[in-house]
Structure 1
Amino acid sequence: MSHEPVENDPIADPPPLEEELVAYLDGELDAQAERRIEQLLAADPTVRETLRQLEHTWELLDDLGAADVDETFTRTTLEMVAVEAEEEVRQVTAELPRRRGWRLAMQLGGLGAAALAGFLAVALLRPDPNRQLLEDLPVLENLDQYEQVGDIQFLEMLREAHLFEKEDGHGT
């Protein structure tokens, strides 16, 4: 059974000024903080009213006196604290495998992302040796014919003679 503070609960989460005023009443402030509170009290009637209400509360608490409790109360209170602590340990222990699994999944995901980034970097940045082969494919397909020509000058003479022009009038 966990007692978590309700949001905006003034008892569970008092404003910082009230905490300082309580410390002022208890004499727990250092000299500098005490002077600052006294300056606030002199300048702000709202702060003075808050301090007056806190002093009144302290007086009422003093009038109540200390409650007499027997050993049973102390024992049951300690038992309740122990049960609460055991429950918290059980909850934390139950969450550990889930946290470990989540952490492992995140690590594996990061590793996979790094591997993918590395693969893409290599694939995009490294020159593809097959690309050059594809560009040279027409030459390679006719290599036997080109080897029989023997000399480039002979091919240039044929081109200048316009013997191999296409029907549309453009030479290749």
Structure 2
Amino acid sequence: MNAENNEIHDTEDHALNKELVAYLDGELNRDGVSRVEDELSKNAEYRLRLMQLQQAWDLMDELPRVSSDESFTKSTVELIVVSAESEANETVVRRKTWRHVIWVIGLLSATAAAWGGFLLVSQFNNRDNQELLRDLPLVQEIDIYDPIESMEFLKQLEASGVFDEELDDAI
């Protein structure tokens, strides 16, 4: 519970400081100035915080001004330019790398699609060849089977047991 109160207090202090800093910097519109001045007339804590911030401002005005020479400014600008060029070069390299990656992925996808198409067509064409290989013994003996006029005749021969005799002889 205490941590929550501290958080709320910190948030309120931050908002108060922000408003008072804007007041000291002259960044508030007329309504904002009126609101701050009204609060200053009513609230002692508010006045105290404004005085503390004003003292900090006054102390910063007393700090010695450091002037930088032309070489410091030049070297700082050069560092910024070098940094910007480096970032620009990295961006260009990243873009080129991604372009290459996209091309490689596209090429691999096209190759996979072509390979898949080849396998599909090959399997379809191979089906006819497999059927021919299965029927090869029949095709090799086509001259023997050619005189047979119908399947009915073969069924009658099988029913009569003619083929059984040939099987017994073969064993």
Deviation at 1:134, TM superposition (A): 0.9
Runs of 5+ consecutive residues of structure 1 not aligned to the other structure: 1-14, 39-47, 168-172
Question: Larger % of helix: which?
Answer: 2
Distance across 1 between alignment mates of 2:93 and 2:55: 51
The one-character-per-residue Cα deviations of 1:107-162 (angstroms, maximum 9, x if unpaired) are 13321342244235425655521122113313134314235423233332332233
> Normalized against structure 2, the TM-score is what?
0.53
The answer on 1:152 being equivalent to 2:147 is no
**Structure 2 counterparts to residues 78-157 of structure 1, below 5 A:** 78-96=73-91, 98-119=93-114, 121-123=116-118, 126=121, 128-150=124-146, 151-153=149-151, 154-157=153-156
Q: Report the 3-state secondary structure (helix = DSSP H, G, I; strand = E; otherwise coil) of the residue aligned with 2:163.
A: coil
Distance across 1 between alignment mates of 2:131 and 2:11: 77
Distance across 1 between alignment mates of 2:75 and 2:13: 30
Deviation at 1:95, TM superposition (A): 2.4
Distance across 2 between alignment mates of 1:131 and 1:16: 78
Runs of 5+ consecutive residues of structure 2 not aligned to the other structure: 1-9, 37-44
Query: Which AA in structure 2 matches 1:64?
Result: M
Percent of pairs with identical residues? 19
What is the CA RMSD across the aligned residues, in angstroms? 4.2
Deviation at 1:163, TM superposition (A): 2.4
The residue that corresponds to 2:61 in the other structure is 65
> Normalized against structure 1, the TM-score is what?
0.53
**Contact 1:23 1:29 (8 Å CA) reproduced:** no
Distance across 1 between alignment mates of 2:84 and 2:103: 29
Deviation at 1:85, TM superposition (A): 1.5
Q: Report the 3-state secondary structure (helix = DSSP H, G, I; strand = E; otherwise coil) of the residue aligned with 1:132.
A: helix
The residue that corresponds to 2:39 in the other structure is none
The residue that corresponds to 2:52 in the other structure is 56
Q: How many residues align?
A: 135
The residue that corresponds to 2:162 in the other structure is 163
Distance across 1 between alignment mates of 2:12 and 2:112: 53
**Structure 2 counterparts to residues 19-34 of structure 1, below 5 A:** 22-25=17-20, 26-27=22-23
